[in-house]
């Protein structure tokens, strides 16, 4: 199955620089089985109570637009309700005449996919609001300065091998300027980081061996 929660959590934390607390130990984080409902409907029933929604409100609506893609990344308009009771057609296990282009997946009853969602916390009220699909969401995220700065911070941490500090402010500002002035070139961003004082004068992390 797909996982709107994990997808939404990734966007919230990695792109929108948000924080999602750990699941409380008192919560049974299991999506109920129901072979007559879509995953979105089952997830909504399990997470949209007041206690759960205070966190899931920051994840689910960001993950729902990607329900238009199955767990292999294939675009879909219908969700297959894969259960023996919903089987419509059983296909052979092997393709005749070794025709590997045939789709031999069994056919099940389906329900329409709802790929709508909404964005909040982008840092720009003009970008926040309901989104119609994953493409709409991606386009809005691409216009968010908060997302841009978040990507730059992750690039900084990767190349420097550490988190940023106040003394790295100039490096981060210059990296953002290089990215914007180049029309969104990641190469320009990396070049700015690797020629910065933060990188050139970085200190090697000394690992002290402890004798046992």
Q: Are 69 and 162 in a shared domain?
A: no
- Predicted pLDDT of residue 205: 63
Q: Are 127 and 149 in a shared domain?
A: no
Residue (of 31, 36, 44, 29) closest to 1 by Cα position: 31
| Full pLDDT tens readout for the chain, 212 residues | 899 999 999 999 999 999 999 988 888 888 989 999 999 999 999 998 888 999 999 999 999 999 999 999 999 999 999 999 999 999 888 877 777 777 888 999 999 999 999 999 999 999 999 999 999 999 999 999 999 999 999 999 999 999 999 999 999 999 999 999 999 999 999 999 999 999 999 887 654 344 44
Look at the chain and report how many structural domains it folds into.
2
First-to-last alpha carbon distance for the chain, in angstroms, is 47
Q: Are 152 and 114 in a shared domain?
A: no
Residue (of 151, 150, 143, 148) closest to 124 by Cα position: 143
Q: Are 76 and 156 in a shared domain?
A: no
Q: Domain containing 159: what range? A: 144-200
Q: Are 24 and 121 in a shared domain?
A: yes
Q: Are 173 and 123 in a shared domain?
A: no
Domain assignment present for 78 = yes
CA torsion through residues 120, 125, 126, 130, sign: positive
Q: Are 41 and 135 in a shared domain?
A: yes
- Predicted pLDDT of residue 206: 59
Q: Are 137 and 179 in a shared domain?
A: no
- HEC states along 144-193? CHHHHHHHHHHHHHHHHCCCCCHHHHHHHHHHHHHHHHCCCCHHHHHHHH
Q: Are 83 and 11 in a shared domain?
A: yes
> Which pTM does this prediction carry?
0.85
Domain assignment present for 112 = yes
Domain assignment present for 135 = yes
């Amino acid at each position: 199955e797909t996982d709107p929660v994990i997808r939404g959590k990734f966007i919230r934390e990695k792109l929108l620089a948000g924080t999602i607390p750990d699941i409380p130990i008192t919560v049974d984080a299991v999506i109920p089985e129901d072979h007559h409902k879509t995953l979105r409907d089952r997830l909504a029933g399990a997470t949209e109570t007041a206690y759960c929604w205070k966190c899931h409100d920051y994840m689910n609506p960001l993950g729902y637009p990607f329900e238009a893609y199955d767990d292999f990344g294939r675009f879909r308009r219908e969700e297959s309700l894969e259960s023996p009771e919903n089987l419509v057609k059983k296909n052979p296990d092997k393709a005749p005449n070794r025709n590997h282009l045939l789709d031999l997946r069994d056919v099940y009853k389906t329900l329409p996919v709802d790929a709508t969602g909404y964005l909040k916390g982008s840092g720009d009220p003009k970008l926040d609001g309901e989104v119609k699909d994953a493409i709409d969401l991606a386009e809005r995220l691409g216009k968010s300065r908060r997302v841009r700065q978040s990507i730059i911070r992750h690039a900084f941490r990767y190349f420097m091998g550490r988190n940023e500090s106040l003394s790295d402010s100039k490096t981060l500002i210059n990296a953002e300027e290089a990215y914007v002035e180049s029309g969104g070139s990641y190469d320009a961003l990396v070049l700015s980081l690797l020629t910065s004082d933060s990188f050139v004068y970085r200190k090697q992390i000394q690992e002290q061996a402890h004798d046992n």
